[in-house]
Each structure stands twice: as structure tokens, then as C-alpha cells.
A and B are shown apart, each in its own frame.
Chain A
Amino acid sequence: MIAGSVRKIGAVCAGAALVLAVGPGAATQAQTPRTLVVAQSADIATGDPAKNTGLATIAVLANIYDTLVHRDAALNLKPGLALSWRAVDPTTWEFTLRTGVKFHDGEPFNADAVKFSFDRMLDPKTHWPGAGALQLIKAVTVVDDSTVRFATSQPWPEMPRFLGYYGMIVPPGYLKHNGEEALIRHAVGTGPYRFVRWVKDDRVEVEANPDYWGGRPRISRVVFRVIPTDAPRVAELLAGSVQLANLLPPELFSPLQISSKTKLVIGKSLSVFFVIYNLVSIPKDKPLADPRVRQSLNYAVNRQAILASVMHKVGTPVATFCSEVMEACDASIPPFPYDPDRARALLREAGYPNGFDFTISGTSGTYPGDRDIALALADQLSRVGVRTKVTITEIGVQLRAVLDRRLPEDGWFTRFTDFFGISTIIPLRAFYSPGEWSQWRPGYAPFNQLVEAAQAAPDEANLREISKRLQLMYKDQVPAITLFTAPNANGMSRDLEWTPRPDLQLTMVDASWTR
């Protein structure tokens, strides 16, 4: 909260000041640097991918480690450490591995390394926070040196898509000889960059792996710096000492657009903002128990106005729980239009002609624009008679209340991100009644059944069909005020070419200098 507030105040003041700073008087352009400096707001937590699933960690480790499946910047699957994969039967996937690949310490990569890595990740003793996402994997067997089979507890057509994000392969020999703490301090993978140095809370340095199976990266040295406050990160970009800064807040877009040395690059987003209704054991006579009321609030929100005023027009209104980049998300379903008259009519129909009191639990500085979005929502809802108050809560306190289903407010402002890029994941986590973050209890049985059906979908066509029905049912029952995608905003030096990824990984093997 303190850090968030400081970031926020600093960013707002500095946004204006940095605009003034950009101009002919700014420092002269440095020569095209050979080392690429990337600035994130947080440090990596560990060099061991089986210890953390935090965004800042994965974004950097994706340069050092490989997964079996890779994804391009549009999230299309492509060969990673596996050349190909096929379903042998509905509950068995077979992966054919690349041969001749070596870890950075010289250890050979093979089927044993794959089995070792997955067994370790899924072993409860490892405490990997992502284990739940891969819990359908029952066993990994080595067929031969370059073939592995994954047995799953039920048909899982989406497994390769999950392995495009999770499942970094670690060197078994290195771990056995040096222990876990060695890997935490010094990452060793097969990826395009080799670990050089980690000064905690300051920088991670990597250098190009000349023997990379995908070819030597074009940029030979990358430094991932940690600059916790947004305004100095932008100042570093303007000064030319940093060439890429990710996840920038809207109030700092202008200086980057004005400067002749920098550019603002907006990537596609897998994150959606919601105000999730608190429907935990809600009595029938409460306003939110009526789907018409829940819809009414969605009609009362002018998403475009909030995007224009708070988010610098970055973001797309979404119709349901998925963004267009997600697999099986139906883009033909229209978002709720802004229609305050219809909102008032629905309230009257539901028996609340004079509106009602509504409270939102919000955060400040946790997500880009969070506090301002919540306040704008309160204003818009109040205009149709829903008297709205926003409580700003520290994120740890808020999440605990959500997990314990003891949220005192009527709605929870949050952002859900699905890094796997599959449209049925967010409903499973956020709206399926038994889902850990769900506030819809006991919920709506047909919706729960559809979510379960989506998890057991035998193939992609089936998944697409279920996903569409799920989206229509969501829009009808609407357990949240559905807003828009969260910005994936990157400040870049003009001479750097790189496409921001929806999964927010900072894969610098795809980057190059334009001059």
C-alpha cells in the first residue's frame, strides 16, 4: 500500500514533469548499445523455475530455460525442446524431443531430464506453486532417449498449450551434484541465454548461448534491471540507459510518445478487469441475487469513457470473461453497451426503482489504473441510482478475505490473467463455485456443469462449442461487472525491435536492433 501509493503519486507528478523533460535539451543519443537493458518493476524471486510462478520471475527465466512447447507472439504453438507431439490415445501424449541439445553446463538434454523435471515439479515436497495447473498429469515415462509419454488422469487435449507456459526443463545432474540452492542462485537451462550474474534487487545479467538450438540470439548481452518505481523506469528510457520497460501505467504513456528516442508499444492482453460480485450465500431478497440487477450494473458502465479518461484509450471492452487472444473465445458476442436507461429499467423491473447501496473493494497501485477505474465506476453506477462506495484495501488483506469468502464488500475489483491463453480457465478459477477465487456460492448449477464439461472436453472443436455456451450463459447470469482488457504497455527505445507477448514473457531471443 505504501509502496503503491508512493508509486502512484510519483507517477502522476512525474508524468507531467517528464513530458517537460522530453525535448531538444535532453541528453544526446548514446551510440547503439550492444547490451540490451530491460527494466522490470520487480526482481526475480529465484533461478529455479520449480520454486515460483511470479510474473517477474517467469518473464526472465524464459530466456534461460526452455519448455517442451514454445508459443510465438500470437500464442500459436511451435516446437520447443520437443520437435513434435501427438495423442497416442485420449489419455496419453507422446513428445518427440530434440537431440543434440545441451544444458549451459554441458550436460546433455534428453528424455530423462524431462521426466526428472516434471516429477520434481509435481512432487509436493518441491512446493511448486503451479503444480495445480498440471495436476492432470499422472505419470511421465521415458520411452527412449528422445521420446517421453505423459499419462493423464482424463482426456486433456489442451495439455500442449499448458506446456507452452509451464514446465521449464532443468538439468538433473547439476541439481543432484550441487543441490537446489545452487539452482536458486545460478540458473542453468537450455535456453537462448546463459545466466551470468544476479545482484539481488538490482540486476540479472545473461549472455547469448552460442550453441542455442534455435540459433545464436541477435542481441549478445541482456541485463534485466529492477527499477521498482514507474517514473524512474520511464526516465531511464528517456535517458537512453534502458531500452525496454514493461507493464507501464497509463499516466506515463505521454512522455514516451512525445520523445524522439522512445516509443510506446501496446501488446495484446490476456488480462481482464472485473468487479466480481460477492454472491457468497447471498439471501434471495438482496438486490444482487437477481440476475436483472447484475445485468443492470453492466449496462450502467460506460467502458469507453473509462478507457479514454483513465487508461489513455488502451484496452478493449470484453463481453464476458475472455479476451480475443484466448483460445476458443468467441469474438462475435458483443460487450454490454452503455445504456443507462436500460440499467434503470432493469432495476425497476427487479423491484429497486430507487436503487440500492453498493460497495466495491478496490486496490491502489496493484494493477495499472486500479484506483481510478474503481472510482470512475462508482461515479457511473451512482448515476443510475446504485449508490456506490469504494474501499481501498491492501492486496494481501483483500486476497485473504476473498479466499476465506469473507469479503465485507458487495464487489471485488480485480484483474484475472490466463497465461495459458484458454478461454475456459478464468471461469474455472473465478466463477465455478468450487473454484478457489470464486465468490459465486452455491452458484448456478448449469454454469458449474458447463465448466466441468469444458475441463473434460475430448477435443478442441468440443471445447470451442462448450466455451461459446459458457460465454452466453455468463452474459445472461453475469456474476461480475465485466470491464475491459488490462494494458500490456511497453516503453521501448526506437532502435529496438520486439513484439510484446500476451503472456508477458520477456523473450529477448526475438529482439533485435534496427541499427
Chain B
Amino acid sequence: MRQYLIRRLALSLTAMLGVLTIVFVLLHISGDPAALLVTQDATTQDIERIRQAYGLDRPLSVQYGRFIARVARGDLGYSYRQGLPVTELIGERLGATFELALAALAVATLLGVGLGMVAAVRRGSGVDTAAMTIALFGTSMPSFWLGLLLIIVFGVNLGWLPVSGYGGLDHLVMPAFVLGGFYAAQVSRLTRTSLLDVLAQDYVRTGRAKGLPGRVLLFKHALRNAALPVLTVLGLHFGQMLGGALIVESIFAWPGMGRLAVQAVLGRDFPVVQGATIMGAAVFIAVNLTVDLLYGWVDPRLRSAAQRA
């Protein structure tokens, strides 16, 4: 198990270095941070001064070397635009990002697993069709459109919920529903397929023949076995959500990682883009690792295989 963990960690670090290198190269060839930092009143000297100040006039190889050395020391540098440490800027967004991701994960799990189960159990019935139609809507409706519709109905017309912004639980309802709803659609389809597979297994038939009540059969025997692929997908989605949800954050003015990262990309605020990338990659890798460990808890076969190894 320990060896497995070490191997996973080493692989993760290599992946992160790869991500960082790609981000570094793409950013540096795509645009000039100095041009975006100044307004049109700026003179050539202003632009040159800014390039020098941030070392942007140095050869790319020198800039890359310095960057990797800094990151290795845990120093993500200072934002060009805000003049504050990148770690601080990211830290301030993590709370809001985590809140939204967690709420959206809850929506995705409850709605997705619920719909999927109902559809699988009532396979071929009107309920199945209805549940899968809802799922189809969820996947195909763009979040910005669903978000705006909700804003118009619940924020403007009915006035039940705040239109946008960060604050109490009421601010969380619409963004969590839009973000979670999108993932719920995928989760429900996967739950349905996976559960149908399991329900067709011999041991389920045996259980049914032995007279086990349907509820016990479904929750104790079938759902637990059908949960593995669903858990993987939920983990991946949660990792993505923690990396920031740009569109939902933009529409609902949610101060999360997605907006920080995209503003930094648009303004070529290199240190912040790089910081956000490291953060995103790290979170993604950590969530995946957690999901791997969760497998063992859900599936005793994996646990005993690991112990034997």
C-alpha cells in the first residue's frame, strides 16, 4: 500500500511539472502582460519598466529556471496586478470555491443517484423516461442559460433569492443547483446503467429467490456494487469543481477560483495563473487519491487484495 502511494505521488509530481511547463510556455508565447497592465496613456518607457521589473525582458529559459526553483521552495510569487502574494489570493478564494463545490456535489449526488435509482428500478416505465428526459435536459442546457433563467424567475420576478453575490445560504442555492444539476445529469445516467448491470447479476437473482425484501436487495447488495463507477465520476467532478467553475461563478458573481484564474489568464498575470494551475492540479490529484482509497472502503475485494499484496 505504501509503495503504491509513493508511486502515485511520484507520478502526480511529474504530472504537475508537465502541467506547469505547458502553462509557462503557452502563457509566454500568447500575450504581453505589460501591454495589459498599462492603460493607453502609458509610454514606451512605462511598458519597458514593467517588463524589467517582472524580469520579462530575460530569456525564456532563465525565466523558466527561476520559476521552477521558486515553486520548489513553495513560493508562488506576487501577482503583477495586485502586488500581493499569490498564496494569499488563492487562499481567499478557497473558502468560496469549497462551499460551492460541496453544495454542488451534494446536489449532484442526491439528484443524480436518486434519479438514476428510480429510473433503474422502474426500467422501461414512464418514470424511467421522465427521469432520463430530465437528465437529458440537465446535460444539454448550457449553465449560463439555466443560470440566467433562474435569476429572472427566482431573483427578479419572484424575488425569493438574491440574484447574485456571495453571502448566506440563500446566495448558494442557485449556483449550487446550476453547477450540481449539470453533473447530476451525468451521474443519474451512469447510476442507472451501473445499477441495471448489477441488478442483472446472478447473486441478485439468488437474493430475490431467497426472498430478500426489495429494499434490502437494492440498498445493501445492488447499490453498493453499482457505486464504484459512480464514485469515480463524482470524484472527478468534485476535483473539477474545486478547480473553479468559471461560468457559474461569473453569472452568479461568486468569488471563486475559476474567476481568479480566468482574470489572471486574460490579464497575463503569470504568477497567479501558475499558482492557480498548481492549486488545481494538486486538488485534482488529491481528490483522485482519496477516491482510490474510498474504493477499498466500498469494495471489500479491493481491501483484501491490497492486504494480500
Which residues of A come within 8 Å of B, CB atoms? 1-3, 6-7, 9-10, 13-14, 17-18, 20-21, 25-28, 42, 45-46, 48, 51-55, 124, 127, 129-133, 135, 180-181, 184-185, 199-203, 225-229, 231-232, 235-236, 238-239, 241, 394-397, 399-400, 402-404, 416-420, 425, 429-430, 434, 436-437
Contact, CB under 8 Å: B152 / A21 = yes
Q: A14-B148, A226-B253, A236-B163 are in contact. Are A436 and B156 (CB under 8 A)?
A: no
B134 CB to nearest A CB, Å: 22
Whether B47 is near chain A, meaning CB under 8 Å from some CB there, is yes
Q: A46-B83, A202-B165 are in contact. Are A3 and B250 (CB under 8 A)?
A: yes
Q: Which B131-155 residues have a C-beta within 8 angstroms of A?
A: 144-145, 148-149, 151-152, 155
A37 CB to nearest B CB, Å: 10
Query: Which partner residue on chain B sits nearest A5 by CB separation?
Result: B144
A503 vs B31: C-alpha distance in the bound complex, in angstroms? 28
Q: A232-B253, A396-B31, A396-B266 are in contact. Are A181 and B39 (CB under 8 A)?
A: no
Q: List 15 A-B contacts (CB under 8 A).
A: A48-B83, A130-B41, A132-B42, A132-B46, A200-B89, A201-B259, A225-B165, A226-B255, A228-B253, A235-B163, A239-B163, A396-B31, A396-B268, A400-B31, A418-B41
Contact, CB under 8 Å: A2 / B246 = yes
Query: Which partner residue on chain A sits nearest B152 by CB separation?
Result: A21
A289 CB to nearest B CB, Å: 25
A474 vs B145: C-alpha distance in the bound complex, in angstroms? 46
A236-B163, A399-B32 given; 6 more Cβ-contact pairs under 8 Å:
A46-B81, A135-B43, A200-B255, A229-B250, A395-B266, A399-B31
The listed residue (B53, B253, B266) touching A227 by CB distance below 8 A is B253
A477 CB to nearest B CB, Å: 21
Contact, CB under 8 Å: A133 / B41 = yes
Whether B19 is near chain A, meaning CB under 8 Å from some CB there, is no
Whether B84 is near chain A, meaning CB under 8 Å from some CB there, is yes
B139 CB to nearest A CB, Å: 18
Q: Which B33-62 residues have a C-beta within 8 angstroms of A?
A: 35-47, 49-50, 53
Residues of B with C-beta under 8 A to A13: 145, 148
Query: Which partner residue on chain B sits nearest A417 by CB separation?
Result: B40
Q: A132-B43, A396-B31 are in contact. Are A127 and B50 (CB under 8 A)?
A: yes
Residues of A with C-beta under 8 A to B163: 232, 235-236, 239, 241
Contact, CB under 8 Å: B31 / A403 = no
Contact, CB under 8 Å: A396 / B35 = yes
The listed residue (B41, B47, B252) touching A403 by CB distance below 8 A is B47
B42 CB to nearest A CB, Å: 5
B30 CB to nearest A CB, Å: 6
Residues of A with C-beta under 8 A to B92: 200
Contact, CB under 8 Å: A9 / B152 = no
Query: Which partner residue on chain A sits nearest B89 by CB separation?
Result: A200
Whether B87 is near chain A, meaning CB under 8 Å from some CB there, is no
A239 vs B164: C-alpha distance in the bound complex, in angstroms? 11
Residues of B with C-beta under 8 A to A227: 164-165, 253
Contact, CB under 8 Å: B42 / A129 = yes
The listed residue (B44, B46, B165) touching A131 by CB distance below 8 A is B46
Interface centre among A124, A135, A239 (most CB of B within 10 A): A239
Contact, CB under 8 Å: B49 / A225 = no
Residues of A with C-beta under 8 A to B84: 46, 181, 184-185
Residues of A with C-beta under 8 A to B149: 17
Q: A127-B53, A399-B32 are in contact. Are A420 and B41 (CB under 8 A)?
A: yes
Whether B93 is near chain A, meaning CB under 8 Å from some CB there, is yes
Q: A127-B53, A180-B83 are in contact. Are A27 and B159 (CB under 8 A)?
A: yes
Contact, CB under 8 Å: B36 / A9 = no
Q: A231-B148, A400-B32, A400-B35 are in contact. Are A10 and B159 (CB under 8 A)?
A: no
The listed residue (B45, B251, B253, B260) touching A135 by CB distance below 8 A is B45
Contact, CB under 8 Å: B40 / A437 = yes
Whether B157 is near chain A, meaning CB under 8 Å from some CB there, is yes
Q: Mark B242-265, 1 if CB is under 8 A from A, else 0.
A: 000011001111011001101100
A491 CB to nearest B CB, Å: 13
Whether B77 is near chain A, meaning CB under 8 Å from some CB there, is no
Contact, CB under 8 Å: B144 / A10 = yes
Whether B162 is near chain A, meaning CB under 8 Å from some CB there, is yes
A437 vs B34: C-alpha distance in the bound complex, in angstroms? 13
Residues of A with C-beta under 8 A to B155: 235-236, 239
Q: A127-B53, A181-B83, A394-B31 are in contact. Are A235 and B46 (CB under 8 A)?
A: no
Contact, CB under 8 Å: A395 / B157 = no
Residues of B with C-beta under 8 A to A14: 148, 152
Query: Which partner residue on chain A sits nearest B151 by CB separation?
Result: A235
B25 CB to nearest A CB, Å: 15
A285 CB to nearest B CB, Å: 30
A200 vs B259: C-alpha distance in the bound complex, in angstroms? 11
The listed residue (B42, B157, B165, B253) touching A27 by CB distance below 8 A is B157
A455 CB to nearest B CB, Å: 12
Query: Which partner residue on chain B sits nearest A50 by CB separation?
Result: B83
Interface centre among B32, B89, B163, B255 (most CB of A within 10 A): B163
